[in-house]
């Protein structure tokens, strides 16, 4: 087996994650805020719609993908709320007069478990969405994501160059 098909599959998965993954995450809270949850910026909404347009997704495909992501968003909402509560508890522990390392570690482990569950649920949603698209549509998405990645890397290189001062 050559490396190229595996790389293509990896790029296609990344394309789906970037284009559709946020529909489940961003739509629930308008795509605002920071962190791995329904408030994660930069995903879903207009970006996902642009990707669906770019691959000429049919109305039926759009509907299926929206249903998949809506279900994932609904499933993830409870975990988002639980993570917010954990962060609040952690802040309380870090600002307490005495630091309780065991309690902080316990909360960290709880958060890690929730993150793993979220990741697994989101991956399943992405697999389900990928199955709605044809191989040609997924390849088109992969090519688009490859170009976006190159542009992103170029911008990052420009930011790291020292200024003329």
Question: Does the pLDDT at position 101 exceed 50?
Answer: yes
How many C-beta neighbours within 10 Å does residue 82 have? 15
Burial of 33-49, coded b for 16+ CB within 10 Å and e otherwise, reads eeebbbbbeebbeebbe
| Share in percent of the chain as helix, strand, coil (round to 5) | 80, 0, 20
Scanning the structure block, which residue is given the tokens 């050559």? 2
pLDDT confidence of residue 35: 39
Q: Could you say which DSSP state residue 97 is in?
A: S
pLDDT confidence of residue 25: 41
Burial of 71 (0-12, 13-18, 19+ CB in 10 A): middle
Confidence at 23, pLDDT banded by 50, 70, 90: very low
146: left (phi over 0), alpha (psi -120 to 50) or beta: alpha
pLDDT confidence of residue 61: 94
pLDDT confidence of residue 164: 56
Residues 6+ apart with CB under 8 A from 79: 37, 114, 117, 118
Give the pLDDT confidence of 142-159 residue by residue, as tens digits.
898 898 899 999 999 999
Question: Does the pLDDT at position 109 exceed 70?
Answer: yes
């Amino acid at each position: 087996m050559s490396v190229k098909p595996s790389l293509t599959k990896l790029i296609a998965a990344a394309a789906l994650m970037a284009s559709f993954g946020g529909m489940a995450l961003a739509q629930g809270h308008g795509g605002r805020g920071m962190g791995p949850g329904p408030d994660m910026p930069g995903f879903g909404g207009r970006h996902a719609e642009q990707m669906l347009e770019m691959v000429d997704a049919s109305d039926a495909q759009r509907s299926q993908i929206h249903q998949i992501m809506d279900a994932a968003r609904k499933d993830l909402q409870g975990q988002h709320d639980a993570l917010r509560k954990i962060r609040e508890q952690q802040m309380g522990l870090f600002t307490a007069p005495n630091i309780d390392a065991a309690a902080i570690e316990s909360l960290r482990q709880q958060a890690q478990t929730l993150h793993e569950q979220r990741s697994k649920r989101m991956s399943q949603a992405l697999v389900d969405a990928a199955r709605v698209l044809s191989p040609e549509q997924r390849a088109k998405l992969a090519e688009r994501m490859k170009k976006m990645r190159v542009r992103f890397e170029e911008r990052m290189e420009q930011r790291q160059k020292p200024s003329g001062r």
